[in-house]
Amino acid sequence: MLDWSSHSDPQGLDALAGAVDEVVLQIYQGRHVIPSYEQYLTRLNRLKIPFRIGLLEGGSWQQSANVASNPYFRGFVVFLHNP
């Protein structure tokens, strides 16, 4: 959904507000952090629905001030994986 929040019409995601409490936007695919995830995070200010950032256990990433100051940001979800 991270790609959807960046490249699609944000109103499409906002329309989910009546059906879900929040969305989780993963910054990884498979077992790897998306190399350009920072570009996606800068576009999250377009959303008008509560969201969390999905992190990969052991994944390397940097928190964005843009995300932390977003009024719809609700925190993080860490996805665990088997070794």
**DSSP string across the chain:** -HHHHHHS-HHHHHGGGGT-S-EEEESEETTEE-TTHHHHHHTGGG--S-EEEEEETT------HHHHT-TTEEEEEEEP---
Q: Is the pLDDT of residue 1 over 70?
A: no
Q: Is the pLDDT of residue 6 over 60?
A: no
User: What pLDDT shows up at residue 52?
Assistant: 92
Residue 61 · residue 36 · CB < 8 Å:
no
- What's the pLDDT tens digit per position in 13-29? 667 777 888 888 888 88
Q: Is the pLDDT of residue 71 over 90?
A: yes
Q: Is the pLDDT of residue 56 over 70?
A: yes
Mean pLDDT throughout 15-44?
A: 82
